[in-house]
Amino acid sequence: MGETDTPDFNKARGYLIGFSTVVLLLWYFGADLSTFKLLGNEIRLKENVQNVWMVLAGINAYLWLRLYQRTPEGSFRFDLAMHDLYEKTLIRVVRRLGRKQMRNHVLELIQKTPGTVDGEFKLISFNPKGKMTHLERTPPKGTEPPDKLAMVRKLDSRTRNEIRYSFYIHYIVAGNEHHQSGGQAFTTTPSRLVATLVRWYVFARGAIVSPWFFDHVTPFVLGGMSICVALFNWWQINYPQA
């Protein structure tokens, strides 16, 4: 199945969100489930009232599984917007963590610049600008533009996280100010720990800034909460002393 949400998926998601919300509201407001109205007629339950919450949990579990079965392939993986957020965050984090290494790299660049005398220059500032190296790849001539999302997902972790930094450098030689851009780039790959921490940060931030989280993660979380609440209520009613 593709990345695009299907009508069946949207319908199943709507059912799960709607039913889960109702169950959570019933629990929060302490509703008496022994009596309810159906088509304008009041219905009073006489038997197995203690198992009403179990029935609600069962219906909720069915809707949860129904949505899972209709979820398009790849929905639980980052979409393009989340990948872009991940890359921007990773570039900023690595730039901060690798500041000392980048400074040493810039000093070497200045020393190799024609007209610079060793030991007679002063670095004023340098501004690193990072870019993921996989974005620099170009498809072979005569081929269609690649699917960026599919391409990113196929990359191994090292290639996926490799970053190349270029610099705009401001320094002084013999009392004269110089500005330099370009030169040999600084290429680095963050550790797996750094990449993992950034990924989890982006996942948490995506809950606020990205529709991906609300479209594909929130319904399952809401459904799971509703099932747990219903089972907890059923247990409290049937085993109050436990």
CA dihedral (227, 228, 229, 230) positive or negative = positive
Nearest residue to 53 via CA among 240, 241, 226:
226
Map out the domains of the chain as residue ranges. Answer: 7-76+217-238, 80-198
The span from the CA of 8 to the CA of 66, in Å, is 10
Instruction: Kindly report the pTM of this predicted structure.
Output: 0.76
Angle at 74 between CA 73 and CA 75, to 5 degrees: 95
Residue 240 pLDDT > 80:
no
Q: Is 12 exposed, middle or buried (0-12, 13-18, 19+ CB in 10 A)?
A: buried
* Per-residue confidence band for 35, with pLDDT thresholds at 50, 70 and 90: low
Closest CA to 190 of 163, 211, 208: 163
Q: Where are the alpha helices (DSSP H) in 7-49?
A: 7-28
Per-residue model confidence (pLDDT) at position 206: 83
Q: Would you state the structure tokens that stand for residue 150, as one six-digit string? A: 């599919």
Would you state the torsion angle of the CA atoms of residues 24, 29, 34, 39, taken in this order, to the nearest 10 degrees?
-70
For the stretch 189-224, pLDDT in tens is 999 999 999 999 999 998 888 888 888 889 999 999
Average pLDDT over residues 11-39: 82
- Residue 38's pLDDT band (boundaries 50, 70, 90)? very low
- Write the single-letter amino acid at 133: T
Residue 50 DSSP one-character state = G
Q: Is the pLDDT of residue 186 over 80?
A: yes
State the DSSP H helix or E strand holding residue 196, giving kind and residue range, or none if neither: helix 192-209
